[in-house]
Chain A
Amino acid sequence: MDPLLLARLQFATTTSIHFLFVAVTLGLVTLLVGLQTAGYLTGKPAYERLTRFWGQLYVINYVLGIATGIVMEFQFGLNWSGLSRYVGNVFGAPLAIETLVAFFLESTFLGMWIFGWHRLRRGVHLALLWGVAVTAYASAFWIMVANAWLQNPVGYEVRDGVAHLTDFGALLTNPTFGMAFGHVISASLVTGGLLMAAVSAWHLLRRTTDYALFRTSLRLGLVTAALAVTTLQGFGFAQFGPVGQLQPTKFGGGPDRDALVADWTARFGPGDWEPPVLSDVGLGFMILIGFTLGAVWLLLPLLWRDWIIRLKAPLWLILLGLPLPFVAMLLGWIAREVGRQPWAAYGLLPTAQAVSPVSPGLMLTSLIGFSLLLGALAVTNWMLLARHAARGAHDPALGRPPAPDTDAHHQPVFV
């Protein structure tokens, strides 16, 4: 088997699973900041309960974000050593910054936040959550800077076949960065908002306890999703400009594409310089879903006098709509990443040159092993999420006031 294909499959699998979780992380943490801040300012216990319930789901979801993120980070070196070899001087910088500025602090803050309930002063505890949120956004920022560079390499010069950094600012003003960052953030907020609305809708349909609590989170989730879907569409359409200009081979044809393909053929030799059609398919369906999700706006008037809850049907619609943003995100990444092929760094480093010279057997082992491992963890994680979401908000483990532990075979050591 072709190691290149195996390495690409592994990247696609890991990234997809990673993104399904980090988008929820990013969306939920924003909402949590709102909830805990509201609780801090108003002193109402309802907000603390909301924070604990949604915080627990957030923390469960976060686990898979880290697990897949660590695999992603190692994968660059394991499977794509050519990437670090030829373009590591430039591409490595934003990734290094991401780990130090963002990920390191995000986890450190989150550890203190989880265990800081009833222990830290309320202001400090709230500040920690703000820290988690800010660093989560910083993380997305630097990852998108790195990804945008692969889409459109800038700020470098090639000496002895290796790219060297000349202008770091150019990485930040890269036209393939800004709108994509806005698009991804909006997509995460739509996802987080819709997840919150859907879980709340389920509870309201089942008439579980805590009507008031889930009514609040239904409204919060829905309004967030509606606002974000609009910016999502805006940033989405705004991407067509730079993408069409800088990556003419990506979506569709035209004289620009033909000129670029001719140029590459002259410089790199004849080859198939156009991306697989999968990229266009991804784009088309994503946009379709994007317009469908725009219908969230139609539900907002029903918030008046709780018609949305009384009519019931809208709640079912929200539940049915929950998979849509997840699917659209995968499609969006397929559009962006498959559309970049056959380049690891567009017009600079062919994907085939970036792959590690590792034996196909090892690569296959790693592909199967990690796909099974991460896939199984992902499914388990979703099951746990569903169960905890269904259990409701009466006593989440997160933020529970201290009490003896619950292990069955536990000996009383604290007497």
Chain B
Amino acid sequence: MELAWYALLGLFFATYLVLGGYDYGVGLLLARRGPAPGSRTTLTALGPFFLGNEVWLVAAVGILFGAFPRLEGELLAGLYPAVLAALTGVVLVTAGVQLRSRPAAATARARWDRLVVVGCVLAALGWGAVLAGLLQGVPLGADGHVVGAGHLATPFVAAAGLALLALVAVHGATFLTLRLPAAEAPALARLATGLVPAALVAVASATVLGLLSDRVRAAVARPAVAVLLPLALVAALLTARAALRRGRAGTAFAATATALALPAPLIGAALWPRILVSTTDPAASLTVAEAAASRPTLALLGWLALPLVPALLGFQAMCWWVFRGRIDGRAPVYW
């Protein structure tokens, strides 16, 4: 039962990183100066999907609270600064994207664009830091509380934040290659391929710093799975680059989406059966089973989730289907 809920939690968070990931990647690209495509066209690419993307995060945290209450408290409070950064970013992006086109003046719109860029940077760095914080463990005391926040200040956390930022940028550019009018695609594909080396370097440095970190080595229960993560990321990035060069935007997007989907499940698997590993007192580590809500709660939520999850997926799929394909001059513009 716990495993099923853990898998569902992983599914929702991973989907958030994939869908929210391209939102943030697209948002980052608003920072580019120069000619086409304009900010508004860029945001029109997100269009109807934007509101449906962020809800995966909200739902993931809802599952975290309902099915893993102890984990939710210790995880969020224990990684406070990282969560704070991510949350600030999420709020800025949400408000920025939806409000930027409401003022009519170009200067006001440009100011909102800058806020969106800042938000995207913060969100990507923040979630990268949260994932790294899980991998390197937290100073969890015998009383079950995480002490202090200084444990996050490591090179590995910084590198992982940057790696996620770079991944998200590649992902966003690939999404635009797939979604904007065909005339735009070659330029965007060049942009995306140009970002790939940066992402490779970022992933490589996070990997090296992770391998060098005693804390990461101690926390990871399955080194093979942990090492698989960077290898898979590199493979996905190279696949995306090759596909972009051949003009296969769909394949490239599948590859970058895979890259963003992988961290959550692989980190979960690498730490299993623990989730919050204590760096100070191994006995105090929190396992998934301990973190889970008690039986009656899981059973209740389970009966609910059984019909609900397919419905949620169905309505999201409806949205993707209705608004599929490249945008053109007739695409509704609102953001």
Residues of A in contact with B (beta carbons under 8 Å apart): 59-60, 63-64, 66-67, 69-71, 73-74, 76-85, 88-93, 95-101, 103-105, 107-112, 114-120, 162, 164-166, 168, 356-359, 362, 365-366, 369-370, 373-374, 377, 380-381, 384, 387-388, 397-398, 400, 402-411, 413-414
Question: Are B332 and A78 in contact, CB atoms less than 8 angstroms apart?
Answer: no
Which of A59, A80, A381, A405 contacts B41 (CB under 8 A)? A405
B283 on interface, CB distance cutoff 8 Å: no
Interface string of B39-69 (1 = CB under 8 A from A): 1110010011111101111110111111101
Question: Are A407 and B61 in contact, CB atoms less than 8 angstroms apart?
Answer: no
Query: With a CB–CB cut-off of 8 A, which chain B residues contact A99?
Result: 55, 58-59, 61-63
Query: With a CB–CB cut-off of 8 A, which chain A residues contact B305?
Result: 100
CB distance from A48 to the nearest CB of B (A): 15
The CA-CA distance from A85 to B294 in the complex, in Å, is 12
CB distance from A386 to the nearest CB of B (A): 12
How many chain B residues sit at the interface, stated as a range, is 35 or more
Query: With a CB–CB cut-off of 8 A, which chain B residues contact A357?
Result: 77, 145, 147
Closest B-chain residue to A90, C-beta based? B297
Question: Are A111 and B41 in contact, CB atoms less than 8 angstroms apart?
Answer: no
The CA-CA distance from A397 to B319 in the complex, in Å, is 21
Query: With a CB–CB cut-off of 8 A, which chain B residues contact A112?
Result: 48, 52, 318-319, 322-323
Query: With a CB–CB cut-off of 8 A, which chain A residues contact B301?
Result: 93, 96-97
Closest B-chain residue to A398, C-beta based? B334
With A107-B55, A413-B181 as contacts: A82 and B66 at CB distance below 8 Å: no
Residues 80-135 of B at the A interface (beta carbon under 8 Å): 80-81, 83-84, 87-88, 90-92, 94-95, 98-99, 101-103, 106, 109
Question: Are A107 and B54 in contact, CB atoms less than 8 angstroms apart?
Answer: yes
The CA-CA distance from A107 to B50 in the complex, in Å, is 9
With A96-B65, A384-B99 as contacts: A358 and B44 at CB distance below 8 Å: no
Query: With a CB–CB cut-off of 8 A, which chain B residues contact A71?
Result: 87, 91
Which of A59, A89, A111 contacts B319 (CB under 8 A)? A111
CB distance from A245 to the nearest CB of B (A): 27
Question: Are A100 and B304 in contact, CB atoms less than 8 angstroms apart?
Answer: yes
Which of A90, A98, A111, A374 contacts B49 (CB under 8 A)? A111
Which of A64, A95, A119, A370 contacts B65 (CB under 8 A)? A95
Residues 250-277 of B at the A interface (beta carbon under 8 Å): none
What are the 3 closest A-B residue pairs judged by CB atoms, nearest first?
A88-B69, A96-B66, A99-B62
With A116-B322, A414-B329 as contacts: A95 and B66 at CB distance below 8 Å: yes
Question: Are A115 and B323 in contact, CB atoms less than 8 angstroms apart?
Answer: yes
